[in-house]
């Protein structure tokens, strides 16, 4: 099937697309609608995959497999770098000196690592301070020991 080159603008750059040529007008795109020139929400998907420990190359391959869209490692880096300042700021924020109540939990999930499936734990610690305010103290992705 013949394809036509198109592009769509995201929050952090332009995405090049190959759209099937459709002489009958029966093709209805599922992700980027006909006539749509901006593709928002894609960046959140990239950030979500990055926060789960995927590399820029893995994210690029994953997006190609699912959406048949080639996204450069540079674009992925731009998207992830845009939130790093906020992440570092959150990690270095001042915490209360006392948390009388501390709630800790872990969710264990199976994750593909190369050719293996391994267990990974996602940790969460919530603290309730003296003023009964809940603070997320820690969110950590880690290997299960």
Residue 32 has pLDDT above 80, yes or no: no
Q: How far is CA 34 from the centre of its chain?
A: 25
**Mean pLDDT rounded to a whole number for the chain:** 79
Residue 80 has pLDDT above 70, yes or no: yes
Residue 55 has pLDDT above 80, yes or no: yes
> What pTM was estimated for this model as a whole?
0.48
Percent of the chain with pLDDT over 90: 11
Helix axes 73-91, 42-51, angle to 10 degrees: 60
Instruction: Give pLDDT, residue 70.
Output: 79
Q: How far is CA 77 from the centre of its chain?
A: 12
Mean pLDDT of 17-35: 68
Instruction: Give pLDDT, residue 144.
Output: 44
Instruction: Give pLDDT, residue 16.
Output: 72
- The secondary structure element, H or E, covering residue 126 is strand 116-128
Mean pLDDT of 97-112: 89
Instruction: Give pLDDT, residue 142.
Output: 62
Mean pLDDT of 19-32: 68
Q: Please give the C-alpha separations between residue 28 and each of 34, 35, 42, 133, in angstroms, as whole numbers.
A: 8, 11, 19, 48
Residue 10 has pLDDT above 90, yes or no: no
């Amino acid at each position: 099937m013949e394809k036509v080159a198109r592009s769509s603008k995201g929050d952090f750059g332009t995405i090049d697309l190959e759209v099937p040529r459709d002489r009958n007008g029966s093709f209805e795109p599922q992700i980027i609608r006909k006539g749509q020139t901006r593709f928002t929400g894609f960046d959140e998907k990239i950030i979500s995959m990055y926060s789960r420990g995927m590399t820029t190359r893995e994210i690029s391959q994953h997006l190609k497999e699912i959406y048949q869209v080639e996204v450069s490692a540079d674009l992925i880096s731009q998207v992830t770098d845009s939130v790093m300042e906020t992440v570092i700021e959150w990690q270095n924020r001042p915490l209360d000196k006392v948390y009388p109540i501390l709630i800790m939990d872990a969710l264990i999930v199976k994750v593909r690592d190369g050719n293996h499936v391994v267990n990974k734990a996602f940790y969460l610690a919530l603290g309730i301070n003296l003023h009964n305010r809940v603070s997320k103290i820690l969110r950590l992705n880690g290997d299960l020991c």
